[in-house]
């Protein structure tokens, strides 16, 4: 009997290992943030930047009560509202000491060292800018959720990279590829003006995408589901589902080297950290 139990335990461990990473809670920040929508891990600054949409629940309200916060890597809230005066900020991207923030119809550029807004890039015709990413050449890509577009921004000027999309949200430049989320799928851009779905069947509330390792990525859905997906196999696996608990998972951040996932929870006003095991 003892041998059978031992064999069963070994089989469970082997099965779990084959299934890939799971999430183990590391810490939860104090609930003092103001509807955090996106979190960005900065290896350079060794801090988490968090976009706060503000106390209201309108994701497109130009009310000036949005902000960007800072959280230490141990979960301590350094400044719940480090930079104020934004409207409903969402996606974040870092490059050369500047933090880029999607804020409805403009990109707000923050000088990190000075702790102030350096300048603003207005995006003509934008309706609901959402997530941001920057490729190795310095081109900034931003999704417009309501307009169904992905825009490319070079030297402060924007152009349409992809159009006719259905509620594009999370976006990530990785290597030579550009990935984005739309409805219940992960897409890869084929070229300017062209894209195809490569992982389907996810929850319709897809929100954030981050690279884990190899062909594995982590995708969050704001109702509370987080997946591991493999873009080569087109496969998916649920890492956590907190819909019943009412804990949302918006635009995630990741420290892939340390294996830590950071999850903003929107209207419960926290960031949660998980070890990927």
Residue 97 CA: distances (Å) to CA of 22, 81, 93, 114, 171: 33, 19, 11, 10, 21
pLDDT at 10 over 70: no
Contacts of 91 (CB under 8 A, 6+ apart): 38, 51, 101, 102, 129, 130, 131, 132, 133, 142, 143, 171, 251
pLDDT at 5: 36
Is residue 78 over pLDDT 70? yes
pLDDT number for residue 144 = 98
Residue 192 DSSP SS3? coil
pLDDT at 225 over 90: yes
Contact 276/21 with Cβ under 8 angstroms?
Answer: yes
Q: How confident is the model at residue 214 (pLDDT cuts 50, 70, 90)?
A: very high
Q: What angle do CA 216, 222, 228 make, to 5 degrees?
A: 15
| Burial letters 142-166, b for 16+ CB under 10 A, else e | bbbbebbbbbbbeeeebeebbeebe
Please state, rounded to an integer, the average pLDDT across all residues of the chain: 92
How many residues are given for the chain? 277
Q: Give dist(CA 84, CA 103) in Å, integer.
A: 12
Q: Determine which helix (DSSP H) or strand (DSSP E) holds 13, and give its type and residue range.
A: helix 2-19
At 21 the pLDDT is 58
Range from 5-9, 189-193, 200-204, 250-254 carrying the lowest mean pLDDT: 5-9
Confidence check: pLDDT of 47 > 50:
yes
- Cross-strand partners of 116: 111
- 93-127 residues labelled b (16+ CB within 10 A) or e (exposed): bbeeeebbbbbbbbbbbbebeeeebeeebebeebe
**C-alpha separations of 17 from 10, 115, 210, 229 in Å:** 11, 43, 21, 16
In 3D space, the residue among 146, 213, 205 whose CA is nearest the CA of residue 181 turns out to be 205
Stated pTM of the model: 0.92
Q: Is the pLDDT of residue 269 over 60?
A: yes
Residue 15 pLDDT more than 60?
no
Residue 7 pLDDT class (50, 70, 90 cuts): very low
Q: What band does 119 get if pLDDT is binned at 50, 70 and 90?
A: very high
Report pLDDT digits (tens) over 130-187.
999 999 999 999 999 999 999 999 999 999 999 999 999 999 999 999 999 999 999 9
Question: What is the spatial distance between Cα 253 and Cα 187, in angstroms, rounded to a whole number?
Answer: 19
- Per-residue pLDDT for 12 more than 50? no
Residue percentage of the chain with pLDDT more than 70: 92
22-276: which CATH number, 2.40.170.20, 2.120.10.30, 2.40.128.130, 1.10.3210.10? 2.120.10.30
Count Cα atoms within 13 angstroms, Cβ side, for 27. Answer: 10
User: Over 80: is that where the pLDDT of 190 sits?
Assistant: yes
pLDDT at 233 over 90: yes
74-84 mean pLDDT: 98
Question: How many Å apart are CA 222 and CA 268, to the nearest integer?
Answer: 12
H, E, C per residue of 95-121: ECCEEEEECECEEEEEECCCCEEEEEE
């Amino acid at each position: 009997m003892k041998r059978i139990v031992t064999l069963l335990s070994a089989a469970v461990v082997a099965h779990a290992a084959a299934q890939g990473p799971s999430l183990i809670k590391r810490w939860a920040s104090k609930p003092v943030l103001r509807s955090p929508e996106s979190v960005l891990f900065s290896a350079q600054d060794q801090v988490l930047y968090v976009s706060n949409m503000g106390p209201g629940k309108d994701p497109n309200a130009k009310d000036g009560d949005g902000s960007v916060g800072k959280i230490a890597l141990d979960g301590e809230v350094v400044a719940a509202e480090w930079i104020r005066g934004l409207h409903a900020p969402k996606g974040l991207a870092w490059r050369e000491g500047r933090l880029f923030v999607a804020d409805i119809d403009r990109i707000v550029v923050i000088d990190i060292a000075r702790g102030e807004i350096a300048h603003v890039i207005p995006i003509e015709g934008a309706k609901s800018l959402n997530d941001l990413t920057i490729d190795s050449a310095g081109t900034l890509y931003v999704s417009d959720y309501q307009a169904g577009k992905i825009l490319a921004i070079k030297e402060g000027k924007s152009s349409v990279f992809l159009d006719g999309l259905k509620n594009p949200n999370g976006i990530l430049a990785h290597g030579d590829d550009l990935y984005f989320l739309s409805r219940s799928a992960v897409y890869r851009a084929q070229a300017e003006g062209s894209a195809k779905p490569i992982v389907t069947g996810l929850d319709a509330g897809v929100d954030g995408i981050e690279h884990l390792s190899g062909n594995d990525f982590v995708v969050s859905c704001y109702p509370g589901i987080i997946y591991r997906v493999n873009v080569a196999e087109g496969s998916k696996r649920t890492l956590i589902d907190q819909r019943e608990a009412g804990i949302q998972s918006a635009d995630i951040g990741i420290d892939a080297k340390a294996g830590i996932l950071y999850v903003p929870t929107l209207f419960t006003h926290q960031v949660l950290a998980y070890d990927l095991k």
